[in-house]
């Protein structure tokens, strides 16, 4: 080990859990540190997420907009349902461009390459 590495290693220190609690004035790790910030919503229930429209199960857009605005979460099945539904809608649209990957775009000397699957 070289001298600068030894000096850097000797200057590194770690704080104990008690020192961290004392420094940040944390009494309990289960409490929210910033109580004035609203806590995120939990996972959306299927009863709230879906609604029936003419006998067809569709997402409840009003609920979904508010739920995601408040940083709520969705289950994997709910996300897959949304992705499949959006795919159905976009495949029926006549004004959607069908492009093959990779798509490149240049801006002021920079090149951005995106792969669209």
**Residue 51 belongs to what H/E stretch?**
strand 50-53
**Predicted pLDDT at 17:** 74
Summarize pLDDT for 7-18 with one digit per residue, the tens: 555 555 677 777
> Confidence class of residue 114 from pLDDT cuts 50, 70 and 90?
very low
**Predicted pLDDT at 10:** 54
Cα distance between residue 15 and residue 3, in whole Å: 25
What's the whole-model pTM score? 0.52
Summarize pLDDT for 40-66 with one digit per residue, the tens: 778 888 888 898 889 888 998 899 998
**Predicted pLDDT at 84:** 92
């Amino acid at each position: 080990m070289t001298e600068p590495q030894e000096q850097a290693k000797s200057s590194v220190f770690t704080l104990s859990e008690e020192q961290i609690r004392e420094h940040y004035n944390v009494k309990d790790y289960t409490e929210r540190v910033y109580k004035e910030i609203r806590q995120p919503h939990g996972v959306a229930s299927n009863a709230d997420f879906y609604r029936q429209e003419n006998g067809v199960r569709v997402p409840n857009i009003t609920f979904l907009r508010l739920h995601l605005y408040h940083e709520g979460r969705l289950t994997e099945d709910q996300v897959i349902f949304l992705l499949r539904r959006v795919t159905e809608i976009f495949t029926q649209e006549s004004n959607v461009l069908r492009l093959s990957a990779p798509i490149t775009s240049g801006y002021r000397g920079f090149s951005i390459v995106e792969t669209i699957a």
